[in-house]
Structure 1
Amino acid sequence: MFRKAEPEIQLKTSAEIEKMRAAGQIVARTLDELRAAVRPGISTLDLDTIAERSIRAAGAVPSFKGYHGFTGSICASVNEEVVHGIPSAERVLADGDLISIDCGAILDGWHGDSAITVAVGDPSEDDRRLMEVCEEAMWQGIAQLRPGNRLGDIGYAIDGHMRSQGRYGNVQEYGGHGIGTEMHMEPHVLNHGKRGRGLELVEGMCLAIEPMANLGTRHVLQLDDGWTVVTRDSKRSAHFEHTVAITAEGPRVLTARTENRDKIAAMGLPDPGF
Protein backbone atom coordinates (compact mmCIF):
# COMPACT_ATOMS: atom_id res chain seq x y z
CA MET A 1 0.00 0.00 0.00
CA PHE A 2 1.42 3.34 -1.07
CA ARG A 3 1.20 6.42 1.14
CA LYS A 4 0.66 9.77 -0.54
CA ALA A 5 3.68 12.04 -0.05
CA GLU A 6 3.11 15.29 1.82
CA PRO A 7 3.66 18.41 -0.30
CA GLU A 8 6.83 20.41 0.31
CA ILE A 9 5.85 23.52 2.26
CA GLN A 10 7.87 26.73 2.41
CA LEU A 11 8.33 27.80 6.03
CA LYS A 12 9.22 31.40 6.80
CA THR A 13 11.41 32.90 9.50
CA SER A 14 10.13 35.84 11.51
CA ALA A 15 12.27 38.15 9.35
CA GLU A 16 10.74 36.72 6.18
CA ILE A 17 7.24 37.12 7.60
CA GLU A 18 8.06 40.79 8.14
CA LYS A 19 9.00 41.06 4.46
CA MET A 20 5.68 39.46 3.52
CA ARG A 21 3.89 41.89 5.82
CA ALA A 22 5.50 44.79 3.96
CA ALA A 23 4.19 43.39 0.66
CA GLY A 24 0.82 42.71 2.28
CA GLN A 25 0.48 46.26 3.51
CA ILE A 26 1.01 47.57 -0.02
CA VAL A 27 -1.88 45.35 -1.10
CA ALA A 28 -3.97 46.59 1.83
CA ARG A 29 -3.41 50.24 1.00
CA THR A 30 -4.15 49.59 -2.67
CA LEU A 31 -7.45 47.90 -1.80
CA ASP A 32 -8.34 50.89 0.37
CA GLU A 33 -7.76 53.15 -2.64
CA LEU A 34 -9.83 50.91 -4.87
CA ARG A 35 -12.73 50.73 -2.41
CA ALA A 36 -12.79 54.54 -2.30
CA ALA A 37 -12.74 54.70 -6.11
CA VAL A 38 -15.67 52.31 -6.70
CA ARG A 39 -18.66 54.27 -7.98
CA PRO A 40 -21.18 54.19 -10.84
CA GLY A 41 -19.52 55.07 -14.15
CA ILE A 42 -16.01 53.84 -13.38
CA SER A 43 -14.70 50.97 -15.49
CA THR A 44 -12.86 47.95 -14.18
CA LEU A 45 -9.91 49.04 -16.33
CA ASP A 46 -9.92 52.40 -14.51
CA LEU A 47 -9.65 50.50 -11.24
CA ASP A 48 -6.84 48.40 -12.66
CA THR A 49 -4.93 51.56 -13.57
CA ILE A 50 -5.34 52.90 -10.02
CA ALA A 51 -4.07 49.60 -8.60
CA GLU A 52 -0.99 49.37 -10.79
CA ARG A 53 -0.06 52.98 -10.07
CA SER A 54 -0.46 52.44 -6.31
CA ILE A 55 1.57 49.23 -6.25
CA ARG A 56 4.42 50.56 -8.37
CA ALA A 57 4.55 53.86 -6.45
CA ALA A 58 5.26 51.79 -3.32
CA GLY A 59 8.25 50.14 -5.03
CA ALA A 60 6.46 46.85 -5.65
CA VAL A 61 5.31 44.94 -8.74
CA PRO A 62 1.74 43.70 -9.42
CA SER A 63 1.67 39.93 -8.86
CA PHE A 64 -1.08 39.29 -11.37
CA LYS A 65 0.12 41.24 -14.41
CA GLY A 66 1.55 38.76 -16.90
CA TYR A 67 0.83 35.78 -14.63
CA HIS A 68 0.23 32.96 -17.13
CA GLY A 69 -0.70 35.70 -19.59
CA PHE A 70 -3.21 37.57 -17.41
CA THR A 71 -3.42 41.18 -18.58
CA GLY A 72 -4.54 42.98 -15.42
CA SER A 73 -2.96 44.10 -12.17
CA ILE A 74 -6.17 43.12 -10.38
CA CYS A 75 -8.93 40.60 -10.92
CA ALA A 76 -12.20 42.54 -11.17
CA SER A 77 -15.24 40.24 -10.96
CA VAL A 78 -18.69 41.82 -11.20
CA ASN A 79 -22.00 40.37 -9.98
CA GLU A 80 -22.21 36.74 -11.21
CA GLU A 81 -18.44 36.69 -11.88
CA VAL A 82 -16.84 34.76 -9.03
CA VAL A 83 -13.10 35.24 -9.59
CA HIS A 84 -10.49 36.09 -12.25
CA GLY A 85 -12.50 38.79 -14.04
CA ILE A 86 -10.30 40.60 -16.58
CA PRO A 87 -10.27 44.41 -16.24
CA SER A 88 -11.91 46.07 -19.26
CA ALA A 89 -12.80 49.56 -20.43
CA GLU A 90 -16.15 48.16 -21.55
CA ARG A 91 -17.09 46.85 -18.11
CA VAL A 92 -18.50 49.98 -16.47
CA LEU A 93 -19.93 49.76 -12.96
CA ALA A 94 -23.54 50.73 -12.31
CA ASP A 95 -25.47 51.47 -9.14
CA GLY A 96 -26.46 48.20 -7.49
CA ASP A 97 -23.51 46.16 -8.81
CA LEU A 98 -21.18 44.08 -6.67
CA ILE A 99 -17.49 43.94 -7.54
CA SER A 100 -14.93 41.55 -6.11
CA ILE A 101 -11.39 42.93 -6.36
CA ASP A 102 -8.44 40.58 -5.93
CA CYS A 103 -5.02 42.24 -5.66
CA GLY A 104 -1.45 41.02 -5.28
CA ALA A 105 1.96 42.67 -4.98
CA ILE A 106 5.57 41.50 -4.96
CA LEU A 107 8.08 43.40 -2.83
CA ASP A 108 11.70 42.26 -2.64
CA GLY A 109 10.65 38.84 -3.93
CA TRP A 110 7.83 38.29 -1.41
CA HIS A 111 4.11 38.22 -2.19
CA GLY A 112 0.97 39.62 -0.59
CA ASP A 113 -2.51 38.65 -1.82
CA SER A 114 -5.92 39.88 -0.66
CA ALA A 115 -9.46 40.38 -1.96
CA ILE A 116 -12.59 42.33 -1.02
CA THR A 117 -16.11 42.57 -2.38
CA VAL A 118 -17.58 46.06 -2.63
CA ALA A 119 -21.14 47.24 -3.29
CA VAL A 120 -21.63 50.00 -5.86
CA GLY A 121 -24.02 52.34 -4.07
CA ASP A 122 -26.36 50.93 -1.43
CA PRO A 123 -26.48 47.12 -1.49
CA SER A 124 -29.69 45.14 -1.37
CA GLU A 125 -30.33 43.13 1.78
CA ASP A 126 -29.44 39.93 -0.10
CA ASP A 127 -26.14 41.40 -1.30
CA ARG A 128 -25.30 42.80 2.13
CA ARG A 129 -25.86 39.42 3.76
CA LEU A 130 -23.89 37.64 1.04
CA MET A 131 -20.88 39.85 1.69
CA GLU A 132 -21.20 39.51 5.47
CA VAL A 133 -21.45 35.71 5.31
CA CYS A 134 -18.48 35.36 2.96
CA GLU A 135 -16.24 37.71 4.93
CA GLU A 136 -17.10 36.08 8.26
CA ALA A 137 -16.44 32.64 6.72
CA MET A 138 -12.95 33.90 5.87
CA TRP A 139 -12.39 35.01 9.49
CA GLN A 140 -13.65 31.66 10.78
CA GLY A 141 -11.10 29.95 8.54
CA ILE A 142 -8.31 32.30 9.62
CA ALA A 143 -9.04 31.50 13.28
CA GLN A 144 -7.95 27.89 12.62
CA LEU A 145 -4.44 28.88 11.53
CA ARG A 146 -2.68 27.73 14.68
CA PRO A 147 0.21 25.27 15.10
CA GLY A 148 -1.11 21.76 15.65
CA ASN A 149 -4.39 22.26 13.81
CA ARG A 150 -5.02 20.53 10.49
CA LEU A 151 -5.68 21.79 6.99
CA GLY A 152 -9.16 20.27 7.12
CA ASP A 153 -10.03 22.44 10.13
CA ILE A 154 -9.86 25.53 7.91
CA GLY A 155 -12.30 24.23 5.32
CA TYR A 156 -14.56 22.79 8.01
CA ALA A 157 -14.84 26.20 9.69
CA ILE A 158 -15.47 28.06 6.42
CA ASP A 159 -18.08 25.62 5.16
CA GLY A 160 -19.70 25.29 8.58
CA HIS A 161 -20.23 29.04 8.83
CA MET A 162 -21.77 29.27 5.38
CA ARG A 163 -24.08 26.36 6.09
CA SER A 164 -25.17 27.89 9.38
CA GLN A 165 -26.23 31.12 7.65
CA GLY A 166 -28.65 29.71 5.09
CA ARG A 167 -28.61 28.57 1.49
CA TYR A 168 -25.31 29.96 0.25
CA GLY A 169 -23.25 28.18 -2.36
CA ASN A 170 -19.69 27.47 -1.19
CA VAL A 171 -17.53 27.32 -4.32
CA GLN A 172 -15.39 24.17 -4.24
CA GLU A 173 -13.46 24.31 -7.52
CA TYR A 174 -11.24 27.15 -6.26
CA GLY A 175 -9.68 27.84 -2.88
CA GLY A 176 -6.82 29.27 -0.92
CA HIS A 177 -3.12 28.46 -1.20
CA GLY A 178 0.30 28.69 0.26
CA ILE A 179 2.13 31.92 -0.51
CA GLY A 180 5.64 33.32 -0.10
CA THR A 181 8.32 33.67 -2.76
CA GLU A 182 5.63 32.62 -5.23
CA MET A 183 1.99 33.67 -5.32
CA HIS A 184 0.58 30.14 -5.49
CA MET A 185 2.40 27.48 -3.51
CA GLU A 186 1.60 24.30 -1.63
CA PRO A 187 -0.67 23.55 0.07
CA HIS A 188 -3.98 24.05 -1.71
CA VAL A 189 -6.50 25.19 0.91
CA LEU A 190 -10.00 23.86 0.35
CA ASN A 191 -12.99 25.87 1.56
CA HIS A 192 -14.60 22.66 2.79
CA GLY A 193 -13.13 19.80 4.73
CA LYS A 194 -13.19 17.45 7.68
CA ARG A 195 -12.13 18.52 11.15
CA GLY A 196 -8.82 17.00 12.25
CA ARG A 197 -7.88 15.78 8.78
CA GLY A 198 -5.12 16.74 6.40
CA LEU A 199 -1.72 18.38 6.69
CA GLU A 200 -0.66 19.56 10.14
CA LEU A 201 -0.27 23.33 10.41
CA VAL A 202 3.07 24.51 11.76
CA GLU A 203 4.69 27.79 12.70
CA GLY A 204 6.13 29.60 9.67
CA MET A 205 3.49 28.56 7.17
CA CYS A 206 1.84 31.40 5.26
CA LEU A 207 -1.54 30.79 3.67
CA ALA A 208 -4.00 32.82 1.64
CA ILE A 209 -7.51 32.12 2.95
CA GLU A 210 -10.18 32.98 0.37
CA PRO A 211 -13.77 31.71 0.45
CA MET A 212 -16.17 32.43 -2.41
CA ALA A 213 -19.88 32.46 -1.57
CA ASN A 214 -22.76 32.43 -4.07
CA LEU A 215 -26.35 33.53 -3.59
CA GLY A 216 -27.42 30.41 -5.49
CA THR A 217 -25.76 27.03 -5.90
CA ARG A 218 -22.03 26.41 -5.52
CA HIS A 219 -21.62 25.46 -9.19
CA VAL A 220 -19.45 27.58 -11.47
CA LEU A 221 -18.01 27.55 -14.98
CA GLN A 222 -15.14 29.24 -16.79
CA LEU A 223 -15.86 31.54 -19.72
CA ASP A 224 -14.22 31.22 -23.13
CA ASP A 225 -11.69 33.95 -22.24
CA GLY A 226 -9.92 31.24 -20.22
CA TRP A 227 -10.02 33.24 -17.00
CA THR A 228 -13.39 34.57 -15.84
CA VAL A 229 -15.30 32.19 -13.56
CA VAL A 230 -19.06 32.75 -13.25
CA THR A 231 -21.91 31.14 -11.35
CA ARG A 232 -23.81 28.57 -13.42
CA ASP A 233 -27.17 29.99 -12.33
CA SER A 234 -26.07 33.62 -12.97
CA LYS A 235 -26.65 34.57 -9.34
CA ARG A 236 -24.26 36.86 -7.53
CA SER A 237 -21.06 35.93 -5.77
CA ALA A 238 -18.71 37.42 -3.16
CA HIS A 239 -15.01 36.81 -2.50
CA PHE A 240 -12.80 37.79 0.43
CA GLU A 241 -9.14 36.93 1.05
CA HIS A 242 -6.28 37.63 3.43
CA THR A 243 -2.68 36.45 3.53
CA VAL A 244 -1.98 35.03 6.99
CA ALA A 245 1.15 33.79 8.78
CA ILE A 246 0.96 30.99 11.32
CA THR A 247 2.89 32.07 14.42
CA ALA A 248 3.31 30.72 17.94
CA GLU A 249 0.99 33.51 19.10
CA GLY A 250 -1.69 32.66 16.53
CA PRO A 251 -2.72 33.78 13.03
CA ARG A 252 -1.09 37.05 11.97
CA VAL A 253 -3.01 38.77 9.16
CA LEU A 254 -0.34 40.22 6.89
CA THR A 255 -2.76 42.01 4.53
CA ALA A 256 -4.88 43.53 7.30
CA ARG A 257 -6.49 46.87 6.51
CA THR A 258 -7.22 49.54 9.10
CA GLU A 259 -10.92 48.63 8.99
CA ASN A 260 -9.98 45.12 10.21
CA ARG A 261 -8.42 46.42 13.44
CA ASP A 262 -11.49 45.92 15.66
CA LYS A 263 -12.21 42.46 14.22
CA ILE A 264 -8.64 41.31 14.81
CA ALA A 265 -8.73 42.62 18.38
CA ALA A 266 -12.11 41.00 19.09
CA MET A 267 -10.79 37.64 17.86
CA GLY A 268 -7.67 37.94 20.02
CA LEU A 269 -5.35 37.63 17.03
CA PRO A 270 -1.78 38.96 17.07
CA ASP A 271 -1.36 42.62 16.17
CA PRO A 272 -0.57 42.59 12.44
CA GLY A 273 1.48 45.77 12.76
CA PHE A 274 -0.51 48.46 11.00
Structure 2
Amino acid sequence: MTPKEKQNALKAGEIAKKVKEYARTIVKKDIPLLEIAEKIEKKIVELGGKPAFPTNLSINEIAAHYTPSYNDETLASGLLKVDMGVHINGWIADFTFSVDLENSAENKKLIEASEKALKNALEKIKQKNSLGEIGRTIQETIESCKFSPIVNLTGHEMNEYELHSGLTILNTENDNPEKLKEGLYAIEPFATNGNGKIYEGKPSGIYALADDKNIRSNDARNVLDFIAEEYKTLPFCSRWIVKKFGIKSLFALKQLEENGNLHQYPQLIEISKGKVAQSEDTFLVDDKIIVTSE
Protein backbone atom coordinates (compact mmCIF):
# COMPACT_ATOMS: atom_id res chain seq x y z
CA MET A 1 0.00 0.00 0.00
CA THR A 2 1.22 3.49 -0.85
CA PRO A 3 1.23 6.26 1.78
CA LYS A 4 -1.87 7.77 0.15
CA GLU A 5 -3.70 4.44 0.20
CA LYS A 6 -2.87 3.98 3.88
CA GLN A 7 -4.08 7.52 4.54
CA ASN A 8 -7.40 6.70 2.84
CA ALA A 9 -7.77 3.50 4.89
CA LEU A 10 -7.07 5.37 8.12
CA LYS A 11 -9.53 8.13 7.20
CA ALA A 12 -12.21 5.50 6.50
CA GLY A 13 -11.50 4.09 9.96
CA GLU A 14 -11.84 7.48 11.63
CA ILE A 15 -15.25 7.92 10.00
CA ALA A 16 -16.18 4.37 11.02
CA LYS A 17 -15.55 5.15 14.69
CA LYS A 18 -17.95 8.10 14.55
CA VAL A 19 -20.55 6.15 12.59
CA LYS A 20 -20.42 3.25 15.06
CA GLU A 21 -20.95 5.65 17.96
CA TYR A 22 -23.86 7.29 16.12
CA ALA A 23 -25.44 3.95 15.16
CA ARG A 24 -25.52 2.84 18.78
CA THR A 25 -27.72 5.86 19.58
CA ILE A 26 -30.36 5.14 16.93
CA VAL A 27 -30.68 1.33 17.07
CA LYS A 28 -33.68 0.67 19.28
CA LYS A 29 -36.39 -1.96 19.47
CA ASP A 30 -39.25 -1.53 16.96
CA ILE A 31 -37.48 1.14 14.88
CA PRO A 32 -37.87 0.23 11.18
CA LEU A 33 -34.72 -1.36 9.78
CA LEU A 34 -35.13 0.84 6.71
CA GLU A 35 -34.91 3.97 8.87
CA ILE A 36 -31.80 2.68 10.67
CA ALA A 37 -30.00 1.78 7.43
CA GLU A 38 -30.83 5.07 5.74
CA LYS A 39 -29.66 7.11 8.73
CA ILE A 40 -26.37 5.20 9.00
CA GLU A 41 -25.62 5.56 5.30
CA LYS A 42 -26.52 9.26 5.37
CA LYS A 43 -24.18 9.79 8.33
CA ILE A 44 -21.31 8.12 6.44
CA VAL A 45 -21.75 10.59 3.58
CA GLU A 46 -22.10 13.56 5.94
CA LEU A 47 -18.76 12.66 7.50
CA GLY A 48 -17.01 12.60 4.13
CA GLY A 49 -17.07 8.91 3.21
CA LYS A 50 -19.16 6.61 1.08
CA PRO A 51 -20.86 3.35 2.11
CA ALA A 52 -18.56 0.45 1.20
CA PHE A 53 -21.61 -1.82 1.08
CA PRO A 54 -25.27 -1.62 2.12
CA THR A 55 -25.82 -1.59 5.87
CA ASN A 56 -26.57 -5.16 6.97
CA LEU A 57 -29.18 -5.47 9.74
CA SER A 58 -29.48 -9.18 10.40
CA ILE A 59 -31.78 -10.48 13.15
CA ASN A 60 -31.35 -13.64 15.26
CA GLU A 61 -30.48 -16.67 13.07
CA ILE A 62 -29.72 -14.53 10.01
CA ALA A 63 -25.96 -14.22 10.36
CA ALA A 64 -25.38 -11.77 7.50
CA HIS A 65 -26.63 -10.23 4.25
CA TYR A 66 -29.96 -8.79 5.33
CA THR A 67 -30.38 -5.22 4.16
CA PRO A 68 -33.81 -3.60 3.99
CA SER A 69 -35.45 -3.19 0.59
CA TYR A 70 -36.92 0.15 -0.51
CA ASN A 71 -40.33 -0.82 0.93
CA ASP A 72 -39.17 -2.95 3.88
CA GLU A 73 -41.40 -2.78 6.97
CA THR A 74 -39.33 -5.04 9.27
CA LEU A 75 -38.79 -3.63 12.75
CA ALA A 76 -35.62 -3.96 14.82
CA SER A 77 -35.89 -6.82 17.30
CA GLY A 78 -34.12 -9.77 18.88
CA LEU A 79 -30.37 -10.14 18.50
CA LEU A 80 -29.48 -7.58 15.82
CA LYS A 81 -26.15 -7.42 13.98
CA VAL A 82 -25.31 -3.94 12.65
CA ASP A 83 -22.68 -4.46 9.93
CA MET A 84 -21.42 -1.26 8.29
CA GLY A 85 -18.75 -0.21 5.81
CA VAL A 86 -17.07 3.06 4.90
CA HIS A 87 -14.71 3.68 2.02
CA ILE A 88 -12.46 6.51 0.92
CA ASN A 89 -11.46 6.11 -2.72
CA GLY A 90 -12.04 2.36 -2.45
CA TRP A 91 -10.13 1.80 0.82
CA ILE A 92 -12.48 0.27 3.35
CA ALA A 93 -13.30 0.14 7.02
CA ASP A 94 -15.61 -2.84 7.72
CA PHE A 95 -17.08 -2.97 11.24
CA THR A 96 -19.94 -4.59 13.16
CA PHE A 97 -21.55 -4.58 16.56
CA SER A 98 -24.42 -6.67 17.89
CA VAL A 99 -27.18 -5.47 20.19
CA ASP A 100 -29.76 -7.25 22.34
CA LEU A 101 -33.22 -5.74 21.79
CA GLU A 102 -35.24 -8.19 23.90
CA ASN A 103 -33.44 -8.02 27.26
CA SER A 104 -32.24 -11.60 26.90
CA ALA A 105 -29.47 -12.94 29.12
CA GLU A 106 -28.43 -15.41 26.43
CA ASN A 107 -28.27 -12.70 23.76
CA LYS A 108 -26.00 -10.67 26.02
CA LYS A 109 -23.74 -13.69 26.59
CA LEU A 110 -23.53 -14.34 22.84
CA ILE A 111 -22.56 -10.72 22.22
CA GLU A 112 -19.96 -10.90 24.98
CA ALA A 113 -18.52 -14.10 23.45
CA SER A 114 -18.07 -12.51 20.02
CA GLU A 115 -16.61 -9.33 21.52
CA LYS A 116 -14.13 -11.30 23.65
CA ALA A 117 -13.12 -13.39 20.64
CA LEU A 118 -12.48 -10.24 18.62
CA LYS A 119 -10.43 -8.67 21.39
CA ASN A 120 -8.33 -11.82 21.93
CA ALA A 121 -7.80 -12.29 18.20
CA LEU A 122 -6.58 -8.72 17.80
CA GLU A 123 -4.09 -9.32 20.60
CA LYS A 124 -2.77 -12.36 18.73
CA ILE A 125 -2.48 -10.28 15.57
CA LYS A 126 -0.53 -7.56 17.39
CA GLN A 127 1.82 -10.31 18.64
CA LYS A 128 2.31 -11.41 15.00
CA ASN A 129 0.91 -14.89 15.51
CA SER A 130 0.01 -17.19 12.62
CA LEU A 131 -3.42 -17.42 11.00
CA GLY A 132 -3.78 -20.85 12.61
CA GLU A 133 -3.17 -19.42 16.08
CA ILE A 134 -5.63 -16.56 15.45
CA GLY A 135 -8.35 -19.04 14.43
CA ARG A 136 -7.61 -21.24 17.44
CA THR A 137 -7.93 -18.24 19.76
CA ILE A 138 -11.31 -17.26 18.31
CA GLN A 139 -12.65 -20.79 18.62
CA GLU A 140 -11.36 -21.33 22.16
CA THR A 141 -12.72 -18.00 23.35
CA ILE A 142 -16.21 -18.62 22.00
CA GLU A 143 -16.29 -22.22 23.22
CA SER A 144 -15.16 -21.10 26.68
CA CYS A 145 -18.40 -19.10 26.78
CA LYS A 146 -20.35 -22.32 25.98
CA PHE A 147 -21.17 -21.30 22.40
CA SER A 148 -19.93 -22.28 18.93
CA PRO A 149 -18.06 -20.26 16.30
CA ILE A 150 -19.55 -20.31 12.82
CA VAL A 151 -17.07 -22.43 10.91
CA ASN A 152 -17.94 -21.33 7.38
CA LEU A 153 -17.78 -17.57 7.89
CA THR A 154 -14.38 -15.90 7.99
CA GLY A 155 -12.46 -12.69 8.31
CA HIS A 156 -10.83 -11.39 5.15
CA GLU A 157 -8.24 -9.27 3.48
CA MET A 158 -9.41 -6.11 1.68
CA ASN A 159 -7.99 -4.17 -1.22
CA GLU A 160 -8.91 -1.14 -3.29
CA TYR A 161 -12.62 -1.50 -4.16
CA GLU A 162 -12.41 -5.17 -3.07
CA LEU A 163 -14.27 -6.08 0.09
CA HIS A 164 -12.99 -9.69 0.00
CA SER A 165 -9.57 -10.28 -1.53
CA GLY A 166 -6.64 -12.55 -0.88
CA LEU A 167 -6.37 -14.11 2.56
CA THR A 168 -9.21 -15.46 4.67
CA ILE A 169 -8.97 -15.55 8.47
CA LEU A 170 -10.74 -18.63 9.81
CA ASN A 171 -12.75 -18.42 13.02
CA THR A 172 -11.66 -21.94 13.99
CA GLU A 173 -8.53 -23.88 14.82
CA ASN A 174 -6.39 -24.66 11.75
CA ASP A 175 -2.78 -25.41 10.82
CA ASN A 176 -2.08 -22.39 8.61
CA PRO A 177 1.42 -21.16 9.55
CA GLU A 178 1.12 -18.00 7.44
CA LYS A 179 1.38 -14.63 9.14
CA LEU A 180 -0.33 -11.45 8.04
CA LYS A 181 1.71 -9.31 5.68
CA GLU A 182 1.33 -5.59 5.08
CA GLY A 183 -2.25 -4.86 4.11
CA LEU A 184 -5.80 -4.19 5.24
CA TYR A 185 -7.89 -6.86 6.99
CA ALA A 186 -11.22 -7.39 8.75
CA ILE A 187 -11.62 -9.89 11.55
CA GLU A 188 -15.16 -10.93 12.46
CA PRO A 189 -15.94 -13.67 14.98
CA PHE A 190 -19.50 -15.05 14.89
CA ALA A 191 -20.82 -16.77 18.03
CA THR A 192 -23.97 -18.91 18.00
CA ASN A 193 -26.03 -21.08 20.30
CA GLY A 194 -26.75 -23.25 17.25
CA ASN A 195 -24.73 -25.86 15.35
CA GLY A 196 -22.14 -23.40 14.07
CA LYS A 197 -22.72 -23.49 10.30
CA ILE A 198 -24.62 -21.28 7.90
CA TYR A 199 -26.53 -22.07 4.73
CA GLU A 200 -27.49 -19.83 1.84
CA GLY A 201 -31.06 -18.56 2.18
CA LYS A 202 -33.20 -16.41 -0.07
CA PRO A 203 -31.81 -13.59 -2.23
CA SER A 204 -30.75 -10.54 -0.22
CA GLY A 205 -31.15 -7.70 -2.69
CA ILE A 206 -27.39 -7.07 -2.29
CA TYR A 207 -25.46 -7.27 -5.55
CA ALA A 208 -21.98 -6.85 -6.98
CA LEU A 209 -20.80 -6.23 -10.52
CA ALA A 210 -19.68 -9.50 -12.15
CA ASP A 211 -19.29 -8.58 -15.83
CA ASP A 212 -19.90 -5.36 -17.77
CA LYS A 213 -20.70 -7.22 -21.01
CA ASN A 214 -23.36 -5.78 -23.28
CA ILE A 215 -27.09 -6.11 -22.65
CA ARG A 216 -29.86 -5.27 -25.13
CA SER A 217 -32.16 -3.27 -22.87
CA ASN A 218 -31.32 0.44 -22.81
CA ASP A 219 -32.77 0.80 -19.32
CA ALA A 220 -30.65 -2.08 -18.03
CA ARG A 221 -27.57 -0.65 -19.78
CA ASN A 222 -28.11 2.72 -18.09
CA VAL A 223 -28.36 1.03 -14.70
CA LEU A 224 -25.26 -1.05 -15.43
CA ASP A 225 -23.25 2.03 -16.45
CA PHE A 226 -24.26 3.76 -13.21
CA ILE A 227 -23.29 0.73 -11.12
CA ALA A 228 -19.87 0.44 -12.79
CA GLU A 229 -19.17 4.14 -12.30
CA GLU A 230 -20.58 4.59 -8.78
CA TYR A 231 -19.80 1.29 -7.03
CA LYS A 232 -17.18 -0.38 -9.24
CA THR A 233 -16.73 -3.84 -7.66
CA LEU A 234 -18.13 -2.96 -4.22
CA PRO A 235 -21.52 -4.37 -3.14
CA PHE A 236 -24.68 -2.29 -3.55
CA CYS A 237 -28.39 -2.95 -3.08
CA SER A 238 -31.69 -2.71 -4.91
CA ARG A 239 -32.79 0.01 -2.48
CA TRP A 240 -30.04 2.31 -3.73
CA ILE A 241 -30.89 1.63 -7.37
CA VAL A 242 -34.62 2.29 -6.79
CA LYS A 243 -33.70 5.59 -5.13
CA LYS A 244 -31.74 6.59 -8.26
CA PHE A 245 -33.92 5.18 -11.07
CA GLY A 246 -37.34 4.41 -9.56
CA ILE A 247 -39.20 1.12 -9.09
CA LYS A 248 -38.89 0.19 -12.78
CA SER A 249 -35.19 -0.41 -12.14
CA LEU A 250 -36.03 -3.62 -10.25
CA PHE A 251 -36.77 -5.22 -13.62
CA ALA A 252 -33.47 -3.91 -14.96
CA LEU A 253 -31.67 -5.55 -12.02
CA LYS A 254 -33.43 -8.82 -12.81
CA GLN A 255 -32.33 -8.58 -16.45
CA LEU A 256 -28.76 -7.80 -15.46
CA GLU A 257 -28.62 -10.74 -13.07
CA GLU A 258 -30.03 -13.13 -15.68
CA ASN A 259 -27.53 -11.80 -18.24
CA GLY A 260 -24.60 -12.52 -15.89
CA ASN A 261 -23.74 -8.86 -15.29
CA LEU A 262 -24.57 -8.99 -11.59
CA HIS A 263 -24.11 -11.46 -8.76
CA GLN A 264 -26.75 -11.38 -6.03
CA TYR A 265 -25.70 -12.49 -2.56
CA PRO A 266 -27.95 -14.83 -0.57
CA GLN A 267 -28.90 -14.26 3.03
CA LEU A 268 -26.70 -16.36 5.33
CA ILE A 269 -28.67 -18.28 7.95
CA GLU A 270 -27.54 -20.45 10.86
CA ILE A 271 -28.38 -24.02 9.90
CA SER A 272 -30.17 -24.95 13.13
CA LYS A 273 -31.84 -21.52 13.43
CA GLY A 274 -29.58 -20.67 16.37
CA LYS A 275 -29.11 -17.04 17.27
CA VAL A 276 -25.92 -15.37 16.03
CA ALA A 277 -23.84 -12.50 17.42
CA GLN A 278 -21.04 -10.85 15.44
CA SER A 279 -18.26 -8.41 16.29
CA GLU A 280 -15.90 -6.96 13.69
CA ASP A 281 -13.13 -4.42 13.26
CA THR A 282 -10.71 -3.46 10.51
CA PHE A 283 -6.97 -3.31 11.03
CA LEU A 284 -4.01 -2.14 8.99
CA VAL A 285 -0.82 -4.18 9.09
CA ASP A 286 2.17 -1.90 8.55
CA ASP A 287 5.29 -1.34 10.65
CA LYS A 288 2.79 -1.65 13.49
CA ILE A 289 -0.77 -2.95 13.78
CA ILE A 290 -3.45 -0.23 13.70
CA VAL A 291 -7.07 -1.09 14.44
CA THR A 292 -8.60 1.54 12.19
CA SER A 293 -12.27 1.20 13.23
CA GLU A 294 -11.84 0.75 17.00
Compute the TM-score of the two structures, normalised by the length of structure 2. Answer: 0.73
State the match for 1:105 in structure 2: 86
State the match for 1:9 in structure 2: none
- Partners of 1:209 and 1:14 lie apart in 2 by 23
Distance 1:13 1:136, change over 3 A: farther
Number of aligned residues: 230
State the match for 1:26 in structure 2: 15
Asked if 2 retains the 8 angstrom alpha-carbon contact of 1:169 and 1:219, the reply is no
Q: Secondary structure at the match of 2:43?
A: helix
Unpaired runs of at least 5, structure 1: 1-11, 65-72, 257-274
Q: Secondary structure at the match of 1:82?
A: strand
State the match for 1:191 in structure 2: 171
Compute the TM-score of the two structures, normalised by the length of structure 1. Answer: 0.78
Unpaired runs of at least 5, structure 2: 204-264
The Cα of 1:14 is off from its aligned counterpart by 5.5
State the match for 1:260 in structure 2: none
Greater Rg by CA:
2
Query: Within the alignment, does 1:127 sit opposite 2:107 as a pair?
Result: yes
The Cα of 1:232 is off from its aligned counterpart by 1.9
Letter in 2 for 1:90: E
Q: Secondary structure at the match of 1:144?
A: helix
- Partners of 2:112 and 2:127 lie apart in 1 by 27
Residue of structure 1 aligned with 2:159, choices 164, 180, 190: 180
State the match for 2:293 in structure 1: 255
The Cα of 1:103 is off from its aligned counterpart by 0.6
Residue of structure 2 aligned with 1:236, choices 253, 271, 275: 275
- Partners of 1:209 and 1:165 lie apart in 2 by 19
CA RMSD of aligned residues (A): 1.9
Letter in 1 for 2:141: H
Query: Within the alignment, does 1:153 sit opposite 2:133 as a pair?
Result: yes
- Partners of 1:25 and 1:145 lie apart in 2 by 20
Identity of aligned residues (%): 25
Letter in 2 for 1:149: N
Higher strand proportion (structure 1 or 2): 2
State the match for 1:54 in structure 2: 43
The Cα of 1:13 is off from its aligned counterpart by 4.8
State the match for 2:266 in structure 1: 227
- Partners of 1:109 and 1:207 lie apart in 2 by 14
State the match for 1:142 in structure 2: 122
